[in-house]
Structure 1
Amino acid sequence: MSRRRRPHPVVAAAVCVVLLLVAAGAVRHFVVRPFRVPSASMEPALVPGDVILADRSTRGTATRGDIVVFDGTGYFAPTAEDGGRYWVKRVIAVGGDRVSCCDPDGAITIDGEALQEPYLAPGTAPSEIEFDLRVPAGRMFVLGDNRSDSTDSRHLLGAPGGGMIPVERVVGDADRIVWPLTRRGAL
């Protein structure tokens, strides 16, 4: 009868750690990815320091009204000194939409219809910047909810890409706050 040798506890622990790291990497790449909110541009929905999860199953897609995390390199962050690589904003319009600011009542319009924005803090103007454009196919027009403290598509209309981000740059929908615990929950 041959006896099977048990692995040394250090070897067993090392194998477990490696397996956990591989599993965590797979979850981060294929399922969800955490991001820390760096600024007040998405208040009141998100505040600085919130940790959100981006749903990786939605990467490369954008739907009006979604809060998305996207890679702003070359669009929102031309150089490393301009800020982080990843940005979180709300999708206002997608390819084919005509987005304008503002109608006689002060609302942003999509294809001539006033955009309902219940996520804005009371008294927030939809935009101080006027614009009227058609979003090209495969792009999205994004705004921060805190319009007076957000660098977004409005501010980059004359930049490469006209301030509109390729939808393929979407890392995922921000669907949940996980930290701090007092703010934990779905968006």
Structure 2
Amino acid sequence: MDTEAQHTERGPSSDADPDRDPGTEEGPRSARVSGDTEDAGDAGDTEDAGSAEDSESGPSWRRTALVGGACVVFLLLLSHFVAQPFLIPSRSMEPTLRVGDRILVNKLAYRFGDEPRRGDVVVFDGTGSFVREEPEGDPVTGLLRDAAAALGLAEPAETDFVKRVVGTGGDRVVCCDEDGRLTVNGVTVVERYLMPGDQPSAVPFDIVVPPGRLWVMGDHRSQSSDSRDHLGSPGGGMVPVDRVVGRADWIAWPFGRWTGVAGTDGFDAVPAPPAGGHPTGPAGGGAGHG
């Protein structure tokens, strides 16, 4: 009995390795728990990955919007201070500029004390000289239109014009002489930039440009409404220098016409106006617009 009892009591322990550490009996159980923990960890990692993807999709859209907004702001600042695109809507400056051309206007050309010169092609605000002052409309609509025009996506405002400077402050501009040509300060101007077949002007005029103003004309004289057509308007068709937006220096579109706006040597021989003003002719106004 005692022997059997002892054998029965020793039985479970007799199957075990006498050299085995008792603590290792928990090994398999611990391995299973470790495996469960790893599975849970994998699931957690998957959830974290999904959350990360969701969180990244949001910022990616925000980054895109921020970059796009920054680009628009940069272009608006660039067009406001440096170079602004303008769409040519009419034939008044042919052949130099054609309908549909997009030009880049150099807004720094006259920023540092320099002023428009004879022969320059300029963009200017004709308010008060070519068009009357109008009450302001909806400010939001005006702002959106100005922004679109600043990016070259819309036609310029109806008060914006592009013409060539023919006379500056103090100049006497006359058309036409005995040969049917334009003269400035008594010197004939050879206008090679004119539209072939056009004459310098079908309307005779004899004017003296007041200080701080410009006499401007289109290159396609028969299709251009310019200073000649506003002699009887307030300002006498003369454009204030401070209304000049900038100088048209480049044709940016279409790509086939990508080039600089050609200058002219037609005014190189024209002298400066006399210091005391012209002794004869109109006293700063316009005459002969008939």
**What residue in structure 2 maps to residue 153 of structure 1?**
227
User: 2:70 pairs with 15, 19, 23, which one?
Assistant: 19
User: 1:86 pairs with 160, 169, 173, which one?
Assistant: 160
Alignment size in residue pairs: 181
User: 2:90 pairs with 32, 39, 53, which one?
Assistant: 39
Q: What is the CA–CA distance in structure 1 between the aligned matches of 2:233 and 2:59, rounded to whole Å?
A: 60
Task: Write the letter of the residue equivalent to 2:103.
Answer: I
Q: Which runs of 5+ in 2 are unaligned?
A: 1-55, 135-156, 262-290
SS in 2 for 1:26: helix
Q: What is the CA–CA distance in structure 2 between the aligned matches of 1:134 and 1:68, rounded to whole Å?
A: 20
Higher RCO (CA < 8 A, seq sep 6+):
1
Shift of 1:116: 1.7
Shift of 1:59: 4.5
Contact 1:59 1:168 in 2 (8 A): no
- Looking at secondary structure, tell me which structure has more strand per residue: 1
Q: What is the CA–CA distance in structure 2 between the aligned matches of 1:122 and 1:25, rounded to whole Å?
A: 38
Shift of 1:77: 2.4
Percent identity among equivalent residues? 48
Task: Write the letter of the residue equivalent to 2:234.
Answer: P
Aligned-CA RMSD value: 1.9
Contact 1:126 1:147 in 2 (8 A): yes
Q: What is the CA–CA distance in structure 2 between the aligned matches of 1:122 and 1:32, rounded to whole Å?
A: 30
Shift of 1:18: 2.4
Shift of 1:79: 6.4
For normalisation by structure 2, the TM-score amounts to 0.59
SS in 2 for 1:148: helix
**What residue in structure 2 maps to residue 127 of structure 1?**
201
Shift of 1:136: 0.4
Task: Write the letter of the residue equivalent to 1:138.
Answer: G
Q: What is the CA–CA distance in structure 2 between the aligned matches of 1:133 and 1:54, rounded to whole Å?
A: 28
Q: Which runs of 5+ in 1 are unaligned?
A: 1-5
Task: Write the letter of the residue equivalent to 2:230.
Answer: L
- Looking at secondary structure, tell me which structure has more helix per residue: 2
SS in 1 for 2:158: coil
Contact 2:214 2:240 in 1 (8 A): yes
Contact 2:128 2:235 in 1 (8 A): no
User: 1:138 pairs with 207, 212, 215, which one?
Assistant: 212
